[in-house]
Amino acid sequence: MKILFIGDIVGRAGRGILKDAFRYLNLRSKYDFIIANAENAAGGFGITNKVLDELLQLQIDCFTMGNHTFDKKEAEQVLLNDRVIRPANLPPGVVGAGYGIFNSRSGKVAVVNLLGRIFMQPVDCPFRSFDSLYNLMKRESNVIIVDFHAEATSEKNALGYYLDGRASAVIGTHTHVPTDDCKILPNKTAYVTDVGMTGSSAGIIGFKKDSIIQKFLTCIPKKFEVDFEEPQLQAVAVEIDEATGMARSIERVFYPGKNCCEKES
């Protein structure tokens, strides 16, 4: 089974380059299952119904989220769509599903989204949250993909090894900076600390440089605006033996695009 995992889509620049990549790289025909992190898809923060509709036209199979899941007031409605999952380690009773079982061209796929706890808002333990869901997912599918949305590389490394042999792939998201450590762990789990992002590679993590630099210089909160220069798609392709759920390979996928100067909405 060939799976493509697309890094955090940041605003209109990210959505634009994503559409180009689907067209020019013929992504839909190359992969059995496509996952994208969409927590920054609407103006850099959260997701709206309109943006979800736009992304659904690309026939992406599953959208994962993160710490910005609830930034837009429509989030609760968006989470009713069964292709969208939110982090599983939020308190009980929160709207939406923390994992999903999906159909692909090569059989079923379980996807679970987890939030890290280091340098982030407090949430339940991601390690134990996976443990509590593992049997439920394994009953349905041998292929289990984890989006670990976290800041600290150490926490991501640790979850990778903790899930080695149980998850098919542990893919890090959130930092928007791709790491050069795609590997297959000893018990055949594919791993990368951070897949990167789909958005402007000229700004600071997808946003215009000036407001972020000013925030660091003054310690005064600033409104961050999505950047449009040099958009790029950053993703990883994972090949999995669907009979066992174990990974065969993981490699990077990049798609650089032209400048896009449209105004963000």
- The residue ranges that bind Fe ion (CB under 5 A) are 66-67, 174
Q: Least Å distance between CB 1 and Fe ion?
A: 27
Question: Which two three-digit tokens encode residue 249?
Answer: 């390979």
Question: Which two three-digit tokens encode residue 54?
Answer: 């736009």
Nearer to Fe ion by Cβ, of 111 and 247: the residue is: 111
Nearer to Fe ion by Cβ, of 41 and 236: the residue is: 41
Helix 11-24 to helix 49-56 angle (10° resolution) is: 10
Nearer to Fe ion by Cβ, of 16 and 66: the residue is: 66
Annotation marks residue 149 as catalytic: no
Nearer to Fe ion by Cβ, of 100 and 116: the residue is: 116
Q: Least Å distance between CB 50 and Fe ion?
A: 21
Comparing CA positions, the residue from 14, 66, 8 lying closest to residue 37 is 8
Produce one character per residue of 100-109: b if its CB has 16 or more CB atoms within 10 Å, e if not: bbbebeeebb
Nearer to Fe ion by Cβ, of 25 and 123: the residue is: 123
Give the separation between CA 197 and CA 8, rounded to whole angstroms. 4
Q: What are the CB-based long-range contacts (under 8 Å, 24+) for 178-186? A: 178/7, 178/234, 178/252, 179/153, 182/236, 182/250, 182/251, 182/252, 183/250, 184/247, 184/248, 184/249, 184/250, 185/160, 185/161
Q: Least Å distance between CB 104 and Fe ion?
A: 26
- Which residue among the candidates 68, 149, 174, 176 is catalytic per the annotation? 68
Q: Least Å distance between CB 67 and Fe ion?
A: 5
- DSSP β-bridge partners for residue 62: 35
How remote is the C-alpha of 54 from its chain's centroid? 17
Q: Least Å distance between CB 120 and Fe ion?
A: 8
Alpha-helical regions (H) of the chain: 11-24, 27-30, 49-56, 75-78, 126-140, 153-162, 209-218
Provide the annotated active-site residues: 68
